[in-house]
Amino acid sequence: MNGFLEYAPGDSFLHRLNPVVKLLCALAFAIACFLSHNVLFLGAMLAVGLVLSVSAGMLRQTTGLVKAVFGFSLILALIQVLTVSQGARIVSLPWGYVGSEGIRAAFTTVLRLEAAAIPLFLVFYVTKISDLTNAFVKMLRIPYKYAFTFSSTVHFIPVFLNDMKGIMEAQTARGVEFDRKGIVGKVRLVVPLCVPLLVQSVRKTNSAAIAAEVRGFNLRTRASGFKEYPIAVADIAVVVAVAVMVVASAAL
């Protein structure tokens, strides 16, 4: 079972696409979501993201992402409902009223964030970080140290989460109750765990730096990588489809 942002091997259509095409198209997909204010269009974009996740076998990971983004987007939606006093009056407030336009804006925000997040996260589940780094160096001629910094950041996210989980399990075995109700109580229990997590993070970062230096990190160039990343017909088709989405989002 794969964790957060960990590559899941497969042979789906998304797995076979060029790494650079996947990331750039996911970014363009997200831009299209933020350009459009049409609820039907955003709903269609969300449906496309869910279909892509099913085709790649990432429905479980996508479901967890949707739940997390939904909780965050609800906060923004609530702010819009309480501050956008436009449209038909629904509920009166001391500083204004809850209007139909505020509710519509809140619903649009939730759809937009959900639709934009899915493709961006799918990229890391269906692409090896090493392939993504090497493809950026080979195709876009980005200096290797910058690409390595990006890939290391993404790589350490699930590592730190797994470390935090292990620390919490160790504390639970010692009698600490992390299932205590109340946000304040949970925060007071989790904050002290940041110290051992920080210590482990520094140790792993130092070990990674030493390993990279021993392997000749400073000598790495664009020609060092032996693997090539050609653009296939499927990649061109995906780029055209996403470009159409961006143009349609600007028009709607």
Reported as a single tens digit per residue, the pLDDT across 214-230 is 777 776 666 666 688 88
* Tally of structural domains, the chain: 2
Residues 123 and 157 in one domain: no
The residue that leads in pLDDT, 166 or 28, is: 28
Say whether both 206 and 162 belong to one domain.
yes
Backbone phi, then psi, for 126, in 5-degree steps?
-110, 10
Residue type, position 180, single letter: R
Q: What angle do CA 177, 181, 187 make, to 5 degrees?
A: 75
Does residue 91 fall inside a structural domain? yes
Q: Are residues 88 and 148 in the same domain?
A: no
> 184 and 96, same structural domain?
no
pTM score: 0.76
My answer on whether 171 and 70 are in the same domain is: no
Residue 1 lies in a domain: no
> Do 19 and 94 fall within a single domain?
yes
**For residue 86, what are the domain limits?**
13-127+230-251
Nearest to 16 by CA among 130, 126, 152, 143: 126
Look at residue 180 in the predicted model and tell me its pLDDT.
Answer: 63
Same domain, 97 and 75: yes
